[in-house]
Structure 1
């Protein structure tokens, strides 16, 4: 009897393992993908955005390999330098493909509700506390919040987010005494910051807060959030397909 129960348990475990393997194989969640599938999906996204991607990647590999051959003929150890050239070309190709994927993702996020969340997600989470959609109106215009070395930032996201941004800034100034509130409007007009440049713009802001001040303000903001109910919104402007999830993963490297 014990032997039969053990055999039945083993069959059940094999069936569960097989089902789990099949679920991961067909999953749209990049966390379930292997390295090869992640690379394949990233390449598809890059090639879909820029048709010259295959030739660019080929040029990276061949160029670095040729450099390795030249160095090998000059310095000796030809095989070693060829291997180094090939590996260097693959590394350079992955970097270039990452850049193309980043451009593709931003191109799809422009003028979409919540697009600024993607740019904020690329900030260093050890330095910046980011909260998407702290305020949102019926037209899906919203305001994101970030606090870090560059100060307390409110980011207006949407063509009609100006009034909402000014109202939120006024509310924060009334509640957070002694804390400067900076506003940023995403857009292509004069005085606005393009979505593609938002992350870089924020990281280059002059340092106005120490680590201790950032943590103190972040703690005070949690209390402010509890006092005001927030309307939930979809996480980001992009479809929850595997390709676009892969794009965010690729952009972070």
Structure 2
């Protein structure tokens, strides 16, 4: 049996093919919509370059192709991302996989705490401070997150520690909006302070018991769909 290849070790074309196969399982028309986006946006690009002064046809054809390709990639990336979220939702560790969509300036530590029933608390450190993100049963998560909050506040008393639960119930943040919700939170930490905060958290984590991670299938990495969405 061949060993699975990590997404970051695949070529750009292989990542695209893998993402397409994954997305098509829950979005069978993703190829059709991408083709339609290519034709419509390409036609708009062709028209734009056609009416510019100069050798119109010389610029209109490649211009339409570039516009169409860009439009198709943007639509493909967004639908692939939505398909990935729909396939991950409900799995243990889905929030941790979604948090990989965060760009530079954020540090994610999955499963810093959990219950025997596989309710999990992840930690994100970024411009808003420290955010504890729970996924699972809200009633079991609240005392667990409160305990984690107290632990973090003792170590980094001058840094805001906030809590949220990822889910579909009232007051929770849906998986599809998790990364965007975090990036819209009020900034409270300067980039220069991040190193000191992370060093303090390392000391906190070093004192934790060596408890194994909860069992269960981990969601597929979203690295490929994220790169395709950004056209890179």
Q: Can you give the 5+ residue segments of structure 2 that lack an aligned partner in the other structure?
A: none
1:60 has 2:37 as partner? yes
Deviating runs (4+, > 4 A) in structure 1? 234-237
Match 1:153 to one of 116, 131, 141: 131
Deviations 1:27-64 (A, max 9, x none): 54334433333222222222222122222112112113
After superposition, the Cα gap between the structure-2 partners of 1:34 and 1:213, relative to the gap in structure 1 and judged at 3 Å, is closer
Deviations 1:185-210 (A, max 9, x none): 11122221111111011111111111
Match 1:103 to one of 82, 105, 122: 82
Offset of residue 234 of structure 1 = 6.7
Match 1:215 to one of 195, 200, 212: 195
1:172 has 2:147 as partner? no
Deviations 1:151-196 (A, max 9, x none): 1111112124223212211222234333331111111222211111
Greater RCO (Cα-Cα under 8 Å, separation 6 or more)? 2
Structure number with bigger Rg:
1
Counterpart residue number, 1:13: none
CA contact (8 A) 1:115 1:237 kept: no
The CA distance in 1 between the partners of 2:176 and 2:67, in whole Å, is 28
After TM superposition, list the pairs within 5 Å mapping 1:54-133 onto structure 2: 54-75=31-52, 76-125=55-104, 127-133=105-111
Deviations 1:125-168 (A, max 9, x none): 3x112111111221111111111110111111212422321221
The CA distance in 2 between the partners of 1:84 and 1:51, in whole Å, is 29
After superposition, the Cα gap between the structure-2 partners of 1:79 and 1:188, relative to the gap in structure 1 and judged at 3 Å, is same
The CA distance in 2 between the partners of 1:236 and 1:66, in whole Å, is 47
The CA distance in 2 between the partners of 1:36 and 1:174, in whole Å, is 48
Offset of residue 221 of structure 1 = 0.4
The CA distance in 2 between the partners of 1:208 and 1:37, in whole Å, is 40
Q: Can you give the 5+ residue segments of structure 1 that lack an aligned partner in the other structure?
A: 1-22
| Corresponding pairs, count | 223
Deviations 1:39-95 (A, max 9, x none): 222222222221222221121121133224433543352142121111221121112
Match 1:192 to one of 172, 186, 194: 172
- Please tell me the root mean square deviation across aligned C-alpha atoms, in Å: 2.4
Instruction: Give the TM-score, by structure 2 length.
Output: 0.85
CA contact (8 A) 1:65 1:85 kept: yes
Offset of residue 213 of structure 1 = 2.2
CA contact (8 A) 2:116 2:214 kept: no
Counterpart residue number, 1:9: none
